[in-house]
Chain A
Amino acid sequence: MQQEIKKQIERIHALGATYVDARWYPFEETNELFMVNGNLKNTSFSRESGVGVRVLYKGAWGFSASSDLGNLAALFDRALDNARAAAERVTFPIRLAEKDAIQAQFTSPNQINPFEVPLADKVAFLKAMDDQLNQPGVFQRFSGLDFTRKQIVFMDSEGSQIEKLITEVFARLEVSGLDDQGQMHDRAFRLNQNGASSRGWESIDLGLFSQNAERIVEELRQTLVAEPCPKDDRSVILLPGIMYLQTHETIGHPLELDRILGYELAFAGGSFVRLEDFGKLRYGSEKLTARADATLPNSPGSFGYDDDGVICQNNLLIDKGILVGAITGRQMVEEANAKARRQIFDGSGGTNRATAFYRVPIERMTNINIDPGQDGNLEDIIQNTERGIVLDGDRSWSIGSNREQFHFATEMGWLVEDGRRTRVVKNPTYKGDTLKFWNSLSAVGDSSTWEVVFVPNCGKGQPNQIMQLGHGVPVCRFDNVRIGE
């Protein structure tokens, strides 16, 4: 197959394409199990294979994909035809940043292939979790396992050939309950990592899940009898279970370079960030240092090489509060540098990824991380907070179309008065303007508070694409934030 793909790449290149690549998925398989109140609602497997072809012709992209590999020549021809049509309306001819021709392989770290684990073992795990969640006060209980394994062979007209074997494991427990007014409340736990070890079946640690099952049931019970969240301005202390989403939505998405350049305006939205902001904009307080680190040993945001064939990197985005970088691929850095009339980006940041063989690669978050700080552990931060609220768990999130403002609802809220947690409140929410919020960052927890939170379902693009990634984040405190709306 590789030989045939290579032959087709050379043929299309010879027909006038300036660049051609193909991603052949020999296989992608998934296995999802989902239990609700003891009922195994979903036991599903899937398997797919196919090729996606991308052709650059006279400065325009054409793409075509098919699961039918019987006529590769026709598939490549369609991609070229699509590019020729797109070349009828070009305003900035696409150029690709330089890269090395790479021959490489990448395998994500895992010890036990989850697809070789008997279904009975997976069901037994869910049943054990469901039994543990089945306690007074719990109205609905959910537990789920989600496994993916895919092989990707990338080849391009610049001489690269990269083979990747990626295994993903996601797992989640959730309970919900009704309070005395019939209002629903939730509490969830999802499998995360600390950025090390591996993510095969071995990461489904019964002890870890058991411990957290007890915790979320107890926290749900506290919420069910709590008073409503007050509506006022105070400090918010975000635990990793919501800090990851704050980072995702108001640092990750606004710093995708295709969004900044207006490539998502028809759907996902734009960004308040402008090209002239790089190197100048005070994005946050001096305590804020953020990076796109695709080199973490174990995270869905680490994938060896992106779908442009560029090696994964660890790049600064925000350095002590100043905006210095973005989430970039080969096409966008060239356009950004040209439009800015200065060299903002030295080359691709290696973040272009596609969700499947039948989608085109676009800039995606890798691991968008916040560096740990020097403000101690969670208890230290609480002790140094006069009036605040500790928040955890994502319940709802909504962000302005240029990522300029946001509204989040969380599962848990613990009020803080005079340096100590006082009581739980129900239906906690907070909102703010992105830049004002990050500039109010007043405390960043040390490495003991830093966790990598996995994201299985980041959506972007048209046609829509779901992507997996991670966020390594510490506990953080922000001041003068409106809560309770």
Chain B
Amino acid sequence: MKERILQTSRELRAYALQKGYEISLFYHEEDSYLMRFANSAISLNTNEHLIRLEVQAYSGKKRASYELITDLDHIDEIKQAIDTTAELVQHAQPLNYQPTIPQYSASFEDESSYDPTLAQMSNDEKLQFFNAAVAGLETEEIKLSGIFSCGENIVAMINTRSEHTQFFRTSDAQITTVLAHSQLKWEVSAEQSAQRKSDLNAAALHDDLAFLLARYQQDTPRQIPLGSYDIVFGSAAIAGMLRFMNWIGFNGGAMKRGYSCLSEEKTGQKVLSEKFSLVDDPSRRETFPFKKDYMGIERNPFPIIKDGVFQGFTWYQDDADEFGAQPTGHTVSHNSLVLQSGEQKVASLQELAAMPRQKDVLYIPFLHYMNIVNPSKGVFTGSSRFGALLLKKDGSVEIPYNVRLTQSLLDIFGEKVAWLSQTSEAYNTSASYGARNPSAVITPLFMQVNDLEISHSNASY
């Protein structure tokens, strides 16, 4: 398959050159499988095999693009798309800067993140995995929901500036298990991200679910008072906040457009807790990394925050072109963010609950429906979900109704950070809007932040 994709790419390049076009081709192929569970049944079992091809044409400072869902057999259709794009670009309007056209100095192939046994797991295997993850936990009232999403993702690119190609192939799986009380409406969750089949661990999911379920079945949820809490965030919540930081924090283009809580003057300054070090590390295979970006720039570990000190912005090529910045190898569909772990020895939710503590601690595993309230101040809002706990100082555990946080990322990752766990995990951040694009963030399992206000406390679910 790889040879056919690359050979077709070369043929299309030759066609464009013969016609005198300046183009780049971006090929995306996905073979996606999703088994979805609801009400303890498989509510949907689906698969899609789709090939998308994006043609980008350039003419001086003008550019235009055309994307089609196609098949490699439809070579005439693809050539027509190239012709159409070349025609379109003539009618586009020049940019006030010169866009950089990709030019690869060598061909590059990376299939190190591909495991066919994961990508092509059978229906039976997926069902068995799910059954093992929730074995004995479902009842008449406790219903299973979730997804087992897995697939194969191929990205390939070529352009008229050079004969070289880039080819990336990955496999991925994202598993979400949810147990919800059909009448009381609470829900607990456990998730897993896999790049290889050997990453899958149904027993670990079962342990987390069983622990949370026992707590939720033993206690009656209650509304907790508004006010200030010491909060332990789980990896899903941390990953969600890092994703927002990626958007309104250290993205150079967003900063230049005023949508950032950091500025160029902050480079080299301490902006967050000294416990906070963040790096974009494409050597971590769990993040489904790109080791070269779409412009052909080699991607190496890129420190963003080191011991709380801001190291610099990441730049997409187009933003770098527009604002006169140096590209940083971040013209990719996702970064490989790694938040460095800390020193707190806690490796599971069970251990967290058993930790001695001087004050009550609110555990928030997941932040639902996060959104930016004020990008300039880094303020976001979101609600707890999927198994929040109030860990009392006397060692008991209570169940709070969901609460809302409206806070600045600069505060949460700032001086209020108490500790980060030694143990980390890859949290899957893939979204399935449009083309498959597996991504994950490596984050400590837990991070405690002290003295955070909750702005809303539910009186029910």
Contact = CB atoms under 8 A, between A and B. Distances in A.
Contacts of A50: 50, 69
25 contacts: A39-B96, A40-B95, A43-B65, A43-B89, A48-B68, A50-B69, A65-B48, A67-B50, A67-B51, A70-B71, A82-B46, A86-B41, A89-B40, A90-B41, A120-B91, A183-B376, A265-B145, A266-B145, A270-B180, A358-B48, A395-B373, A398-B382, A400-B404, A431-B456, A463-B48
Interface in A433-482: 433, 459, 462-464, 466
A207 B111 CA distance: 54
A463 B402 contact: no
Nearest to B69: A48
Given A184-B375, A401-B402, A45 B40 contact: no
Given A39-B96, A62-B45, A462-B432, A118 B91 contact: yes
B127 A88 contact: yes
A97 interface: no
A265 B69 contact: no
A67 B70 contact: yes
B461 A407 contact: no
Interface in B175-203: 176, 178, 180, 182, 185, 187
B371 A396 contact: yes
Contacts, number: 245
A211 interface: no
B215 to A, nearest CB: 18
Interface in B7-50: 32, 34-50
A299 interface: no
Given A67-B69, A89-B127, A405-B458, A60 B180 contact: no
Nearest to B401: A404
Contacts of B35: 85-86
B124 interface: yes
A160 interface: no
Given A40-B93, A82-B45, A182 B376 contact: yes
A223 interface: no
A484 to B, nearest CB: 11
Interface string A388-409: 0000000111111110110101
Given A44-B64, A176-B258, A127 B93 contact: yes
A460 to B, nearest CB: 11
B47 A82 contact: yes
Contact of B41 (A44, A64, A89): A89
Nearest to A42: B65
A123 B145 contact: no
B184 to A, nearest CB: 11
Contacts of A60: 41-42, 45
A407 B406 CA distance: 9
B43 A263 contact: yes
A262 B182 contact: yes
A66 interface: yes
B385 interface: yes
A351 B284 CA distance: 44
Given A266-B37, A398-B369, A462-B149, A360 B456 contact: no
B374 interface: yes
B123 interface: yes
A429 interface: yes
Interface string B238-281: 00000000000000000001110001000000000000000000
A61 interface: yes
B460 A272 contact: yes
B38 A45 contact: no
Contacts of A404: 458, 460-461
B38 A398 contact: no
B66 interface: yes
Q: In which size bucket is the chain B interface?
A: 35 or more
Contacts of B461: 272, 402, 404
Interface of B: 32, 34-51, 63-71, 73, 81, 84-85, 88-89, 91-93, 95-97, 123-124, 127, 143, 145-147, 149, 176, 178, 180, 182, 185, 187, 257-259, 263, 318, 322, 368-377, 381-383, 385, 402, 404, 406, 431-433, 455-456, 458-461
A464 B432 contact: yes
Interface residues of A, number: 81
B458 A400 contact: yes
A265 B433 contact: no
Given A45-B67, A464-B431, A427 B92 contact: no
Given A120-B91, A396-B373, A92 B382 contact: no
A86 B91 contact: no
A263 B39 contact: yes
A38 B371 CA distance: 28
Contact of A67 (B66, B71, B96, B460): B71
Contacts of B32: 463
A226 interface: no
A155 interface: no
Given A398-B369, A462-B149, A463-B32, A38 B96 contact: yes
A377 B359 CA distance: 54
Contacts of A183: 374, 376-377
Nearest to B85: A45
A67 B93 CA distance: 33
A3 interface: no
Contacts of B50: 50, 65-67, 358
Nearest to A270: B185
Interface in A31-82: 38-50, 60-68, 70, 78, 81-82
A184 to B, nearest CB: 4
A85 B127 contact: yes
A91 interface: yes
A365 B153 CA distance: 32
A262 B371 contact: no
A272 B97 CA distance: 52
B322 A39 contact: yes
